Each structure stands twice: as structure tokens, then as C-alpha cells.
Structure 1
Amino acid sequence: MSLHVLDFAKIIILSEDIAEVIVNEGVAMDGQIAEELETFLILHLSAPFSVLVNKVNSYTYKFCAQLKLANMQNLHAIAVVTYDNISKIRTEVLRDTTPANKVWNLQLFSTRELAIEWLEVEQEKTRYDDLG
């Protein structure tokens, strides 16, 4: 496990193909930030990779960032940990209204532990698919 501090977030590498992203309080995620996040993940994780988004802080997305994240290269699964109903609803709206090239493999969780367990199972599926 390693911690990386970027201008807009902390990223914890949980395994070779799973990272936890904790966006800083008050960030307005724009296209440039989304691009920087994607580049970081591609450089530090094995593809295909999965991401745990820990919504411990409050932040917003501009539409261009939503599009970039929805169509991120090599992204297999997203687990989002929400701590209140408003954050959960906002995440569901983001998932359901952002145009993407494929259906998002995204699940919401109330605990970090459950989210990590789900991501590990999802990543195991990618390794199994590679063998078959």
C-alpha cells in the first residue's frame, strides 16, 4: 500500500490493480483534473484496474469531467463509499445521467471494507477472463 498526494486528492494504491481515491474537500473536478487522475491511474496500476471512490469529502464535477471519468481508459469497476443519503443520491444521478461508451460497473457501499471486498472479486473476474 502506498499513499500519493496530488493537488486535488489523495490516492492510496491498495494493490497492483486497485486504487482508492479521496478527493479533497471543496474541489471542483474539471476536465484537466479528470485527465490528471486518469494519467496517474494508468501509470500506477495494472490494466484493467478498479477504483474505490471514498466520498468522505464534499466536491463537485463539471460535465467535461463526468464524461472523461465515465469513459476512462482501462477502468473495470468503481466502488463508491457514501456516508449520507445526499452523497448517495448525487452519485446515482451521476451514474444514471452521464453518457458513456459502456455501462458503468459501479456499485455503492456504506463501508470501505465492503467496497474493497467487491472490487477484489471484480478484479478476480478480469484475471479469470484473461485465462479463458
Structure 2
Amino acid sequence: MERFRLSFCNAIKLDEDLAEFVVDEGVEFNLACVDEYHAWIVAHLQRPYLLLVHKVNAYHYDFASQTALGTLPGIKAAAFVVYSHISQLTTQVMLSMPRDADWVYRIFNNRDDALNWLGMQRESDDQTISSTEKF
């Protein structure tokens, strides 16, 4: 496990193709953040990429970042761990934005379930967006 500091979050490389991201409290996630996030993924992970976004802190996305986030070619699956109903709703809104992306995602309320699901996605050839877990 390797830890990295980006300008807006901590990135933890959990495996060659898997990383966890914890965005800082109060961040406005914008296009510069998206570019830095995608560049880090390309520089540190092997394709296809598996991502865990651990939403322990409160932050928000500007509109441009909502449509650009996750459009990096090679993202196979992303799991979002949320701890409140508001966090789940904001994540669902962000994920519902139209984008050119071919990856699956799911929302969880605990990290272990999210990591287990990402492990199953590693072995899967499915490229269909999954429904979210009930919170």
C-alpha cells in the first residue's frame, strides 16, 4: 500500500489496478481536480482501473467536473462509500450526469463491501452500469 498526496485528496494505491481516494473536507471538485485525478490514475495504476472513492468528508462538484469525472478511458469500475443519506444523494446526482464513459459503479455504506465488489468486478467482463445499493 502506497500513499500519495494530491492537491485536493489523499490517494492510496491498494493494488496495481486499484486505488482509494479520500477527498479533503470542503473541496470544490473542479476540472483542475479531474485532470489531476485522471493524470494520477494513468501514472500509478495499470488498466483496467478500479477506483474506490471514500466519501468520509463533505465536498462538492462544480457542474463541469460532474460531466468530466470518470471519463478517463480504462476505468472499469468505481465504488463510492458514503455515510449519510445526503452524501448518497449527491453521489447519485453526480453519477447521473451524461458522460462518455464505459464503466460500472455502485454506492456502498461500508468500505469492506465496496472492496469486495471491486474484487468481483476485476474478474467480470460486464460493462453495464449497476444499480446502487439501498442505503
TM-score (structure 1 length as normaliser): 0.89
Partner residue, 1:123: 122
Which residue in the other structure is 1:49 paired with? 49
User: TM-score, normalised to structure 2's length?
Assistant: 0.87
Which structure's residues are more often helix, by fraction?
Answer: 1
Q: CA RMSD in A?
A: 1.2
- List gaps (5 residues or longer) in structure 2: 126-135
1:31 equivalent in structure 2: 31
What's the % identity of the aligned pairs?
A: 34
Q: Which runs of 4+ in 1 moved over 2 A?
A: none
* Unmatched runs of 5 consecutive residues or more in structure 1: 127-132
User: 1:92 and 1:104 mapped to 2: Cα distance?
Assistant: 15
**Residue 19 (structure 1) shift:** 0.4
Deviation at 1:104, TM superposition (A): 4.6
Pairs aligned (count): 125
The equivalent residue for 1:18 is: 18
Residues 65-118 of structure 1, C-alpha deviations (whole Å, 9 max, x = no match): 11221412211111000001000111111112x111246511011110110011
SS at match of 2:10: strand
- CA distance in 1 between counterparts of 2:33 and 2:22 reads 13
